[in-house]
Every structure is written in structure tokens, then in C-alpha cells.
Amino acid sequence: MASVENNDTDQAGDKPRRQMLGMVAEFSQDTSLHGVKFALQTSVSSPRRILWTTVIVAQLAAFLAVITGQIIHVNQLPVLTNVITSYEDQLAFPGVTVCKPLSKAAYPDLEPFENDVLMNLNIKNRTFFTSLPVEDYARIDTGEIYHKRFLLQKKFLRFCMFAHSNCSHFVKTSLARDSFCESVNSVLPDDISWSRDTNETETANRSRGFISRTPGKEAGLSLLLKLEGEDRGVKLILHEPDEKIRVVNSEFLQLSPFSENFIGVKLFKNKFLPSPYRAFGDRKCQVTTGDFRHPLIPTGKYTLRACQDACMIEGARNFCGCQLDYASGWADEKACDPLRLIDCHAKMMERFLNNTLPVPLCDCPLPCEDLVYHTTLSSSPIGNVSDTNRENDILIHIHFDRLKIVSTEQVPDYTTGDVFGAVCLILYTGASVAQLVMTQEPLTNAVAGRSGQAHVGFLSEPSIGGQMGLFLGASIITVTELLELIVRCMYGWMRRDVRKTNSPVDVNK
């Protein structure tokens, strides 16, 4: 009797297993996973079942290989670059800085000895300084001499007109390296180390920046410069109004005397993605808006150019151990003596160009957002060539060609939402890659928001959903069926364990 009961128990225990096999067989006949029914169907010959099993395994391996490569690609954070042209009702006018070298002529208000020092510093004459008596050499104060020369320099910007309004009272004078500069439309606060004007505070408070409401010369900025006889021209640069220009470099436009110059301006705006994205090759950019302050630029707008200029000045202080002639802060820092100035300047410039200055603050990150003023320059002589009264004059007309901004903006090629949305769409439709490429427009309309374009890019490339449809013929319904099969099998297996636990025990054993 006990033997019969044990046999019944075994048959009852095998029932869930048979049910699970039946569910798997049912799933294999109805699923959209291609080839599974041939691999599991008992009525199919063994060679054919082996063949289909091999094909399914190979397709699954290919699917996993392609998806692994796609995941690696997405993990590299690829980006797209959008170029957008927008027309505006008005544009903020750029700051304009014009510089010329400090005059090498003798100054009647300076002592003869100070004029000799200046002349020999300009030509870097070591012999002159080494031949001086000790008492004369000791009384040389290069910082004070250069400061005096800067204060005695005559202003050369004689006339300023912006949109038919006089703007001469907005002109600021400053020292940029060994050049005398005058700036228009600069909204920097008063900085005595940067400007020599005593009424600068009032000027800065009144200066809120120029606004262009129409393009063309009539609505632009016109300047008249009058140079001295020994001057060979000026250098001009356009910059953001709150940027401080401290060094004259190759970015400046060269303008010659006895010329009328027309400068057309186009405004470009660049916006790059911050870390962890890479904005410039392998380099990452720094968000410089908001509360960001770089140690080298405590005031004014941070730009890469301003940081590099400040880095060179700071590097001179660290490398030379004294203040060079073109830097600011005359009263607070020790100026370099002539020989140190001549020797150290050349070595410091070489180290700066080789990026080997020992200055920890000289880490100048690339800004994620910046404005770029592209210029077009055309020049012609002023009036009649025989007009000797204007041979040292320079006329400058600066204006916007169009009131438009060309914006270059980086956006993520794939975001989490893009990947999830693309997978859901492809799984839901059960479409293959080829079908998706042919139906991009409907899918674009189906995906709302800014990332619609990125969705299409993801759909048109080998993606998770696309590869599932291409290699396995799977859709979201297939995944649901597979999940249901797993749940049913687990439920049947648990019921089997429960029945084994509750089965009668053979007491005759």
C-alpha cells in the first residue's frame, strides 16, 4: 500500500515539471523570436533542431557583441553641434581698445638721467647700465620712471561718436604692457592701477555699455586718432565690454596713419558642454558664469585671453622676483632694476611660450561660453594725398554688418531619456533598423521636446531595440511573453517544492 502511495507522490511531483515543459513548448510555438519553435519542436528532425539552435546562439552572440560596442560608444559621451542664426532687435556693442607703443622720444618733464634710462631700457643696452657709477645705478627706479612716462603720454583719441552721440567722455586711458591704450565702451569699475584718469568712478557709473539698434555705419562707432610724428600706427582689438586688456598681442588689428578704416563686425556665440563632456578634443571647459572667480582675474569678465595675460604678469613676478615695467600696481610692488628687467624679461617670455612658468595659478580653463567678434577690415587713404595736415590721422568706423548672432552650441548626442525613449519605441513597434531609417519623420513627431533630433540619431544607428528586432525579431510583446513564462515556471517549481514537503511519509521504511 505504501508503495502505491509513493508512486502517486512521484507522479504528483513530476506533474509541475511536465507543466513547465508544456509551457516552454507552447511559448516556442507562439513567440515572435524567430527559429525558437524549430529548435524546441519535438516533431522536427534532430539535424534541423541542431541547426536552428546554432543559428539562435550565433544571432544572440552577434546581438550582444553589437550592443556592447554601442554601449561603449554611448559611454564616451558623444555630442552634436547645432549652429543657429538668430536675428535680434538690438545688440550690445563690443568694447574697443586702441593701443600704440609708448613714445621713445625724450620727455621735457623728465630728468635727463631718467630719459637716458628709458632710452637704454627700450634698446636693452646692458653696457649703459653696467658702466654707471654705483650711486647712479642705485637711484634708478624703473617702475616710477615708466609710471611718469605713462602719465605724461598725450591722449591720441581726439573724437568719439556713437550713433550720432558724442562719447568722448567715456574714453579710458590705460597701460597694456609697454603700450599706451585708450578704450571706448568699457564698463569696468574704477581701477587706478589700470587707468590714470581721476574721474574714472563717475565715468564708470555712467557707462552702461553701447547698444546698436540698427546695422551699418550710421549706427556704429566713429573714432578719430591723431598720432605724433614718430608713431607708425596703432593696434585695435574688439572685446567684451567688461574684459580688461593688459597685453598687446597678435590678435590686434594693425592700422596705419593717413587711413580711413571700415570695420564690419559679426557676432558669434559659442556654448560648449561642461565636464564630463569634452569640448575641445580631450580638453574640458569650465563654466565661468555665475559666482565663478579665477584667482588671476578677481574683477571683470573671465576670458581665456585675459587669464593668459594675467598669467604672464603673475609669472614675471614669480620668475623674476620683481615687477616688470608693463604691469600694474606701481606703489605696492618692487620694480625690477634695469639689468634684471633686461635679462629676466627675455627668459620669462621664453618660459611662458613653452608653458613652463612655475606659477600654480596659471591654470587657465577654457570657458564653456564666450563671445567672438569676427571683423572685416577695409582701408583707404584720407582725402587728398597732398593733405599734409592729416598725415598722422586715423579714422575708424566700426559697425555691425547685421543684427544677428550665430550661435554654436553643443548638445549631447545621447541622453538617458533619448536611449530609453528609443528603446521603448523600437521595442513597441518591433521594427528593424531598416524600417526605422525609412520612417524617421513620424518617429521624430512621436518624440516630443528638444531631444527629438537626438532620438532620431539614436534610432538611425545600431541601438539596443533595433538590434533586438534585427537579430532576434523581438518586440516588447516578446519580452512580456518571456517574463510571463519565467513567472509561470517559477510558480510551478515552487508548487512542486510545496507538494514534496506535504507528501505522506512511508512509516514502514
For residue 274, the domain's CATH number is 2.60.470.10
Residue count (the chain): 509
Domain housing 175: 80-99+157-288+365-412
Short-list 331, 309, 327, CA closest to 317: 327
The C-alpha atoms of residue 100 and residue 254 are separated, in whole angstroms, by 10
Choosing from 361, 396, 424, the residue where a domain stops is 361
Assigned domain for 237 exists: yes
Give the pLDDT score at 351.
74
What pLDDT score does 302 carry? 86
Q: Are residues 251 and 274 in the same domain?
A: yes
Backbone φ and ψ for 283, nearest 5 degrees, come out as -90, 155
- Which pLDDT value is given to residue 88? 93
CA dihedral 216, 222, 228, 232 (to 10 degrees): -20
Note the Cα 473 to chain centre separation in Å: 43
Structural domain contains residue 34: no
Distance CA 335, CA 121 (A): 13
Residues 236 and 342 in one domain: no
For position 159, what pLDDT does the model report? 92
344: Cα within 13 Å, side-chain hemisphere: 21
Of 361, 380, 398, the residue at which a domain comes to its end is 361
Query: Do residue 131 and residue 262 come from a single domain?
Result: no
203 found inside a domain: yes
Q: Are residues 322 and 251 part of one domain?
A: no
In a domain, 24, yes or no: no
> How would you write the pLDDT of the chain (509 residues) with one tens digit per residue?
444 444 444 455 566 666 666 777 666 666 666 667 666 776 767 787 788 788 778 877 877 787 787 778 777 778 888 899 999 999 999 999 999 987 767 777 788 888 898 888 878 888 999 999 998 898 888 878 877 887 788 889 999 999 889 998 888 888 776 788 999 998 765 454 445 564 544 444 444 689 999 999 888 999 999 998 778 899 999 998 888 787 888 889 999 999 999 999 999 999 999 888 887 777 788 888 878 888 888 777 788 888 887 777 777 777 777 776 554 544 456 677 888 888 887 777 777 677 776 666 677 888 999 899 999 999 998 876 666 678 889 999 999 999 999 999 988 877 665 555 555 554 444 444 434 433 443 333 333 333 444 444 444 444 555 656 655 666 656 666 677 767 777 777 776 665 566 555 554 54
Number of domains in the chain: 2
Co-location of 279 and 177 in the same domain: yes
Domain assignment present for residue 376? The answer is: yes
Domain match, 207 and 88 both: yes
The answer to the question of residue 249 being in a domain is: yes
Give me the pLDDT at residue 205, please. 42
Q: Which three cell numbers stand for residue 37?
A: 519553435
**Does residue 323 form part of some domain?**
yes
Specify whether 329 is located in the same domain as 235. no
Phi, psi of 254 (to 5 degrees): -95, 125
In 300-444, DSSP assigns E strands to 366-367, 369-381, 393-412
- At residue 252, the pLDDT reads 92
Residues 207 and 179 in one domain: yes
Question: CA 398 to CA 218: how far, in whole Å?
Answer: 10
Residue 17 in any domain: the answer is: no
**In this structure, are 247 and 284 located in the same domain?**
yes
Work out the number of other CB atoms within 10 angstroms of the CB of residue 122.
Answer: 12
250 and 176 part of one domain: yes
Alpha carbons 412 and 398: distance in angstroms, whole number:
37
CA dihedral over 182, 165, 242, 97, signed as positive or negative: negative
Same domain? For 168 and 226 the reply is: yes
Q: Which residues of 69-104 are buried (b: 16+ CB within 10 A; e: fewer)?
A: ebeeebeeeebeeeeeeeeeeebbbbbbbbbbbbbe
Distance CA 476, CA 473 (A): 10
Residues 191, 329 share a domain: no
Longest dimension (CA), the chain: 136
Residue 337: HSE in the Cβ half-sphere, 13 Å Cα cutoff: 11
Cα separation, 492 vs 425, whole angstroms: 33
Tell me the backbone φ, ψ of residue 272, rounded to 5 degrees: -115, 160
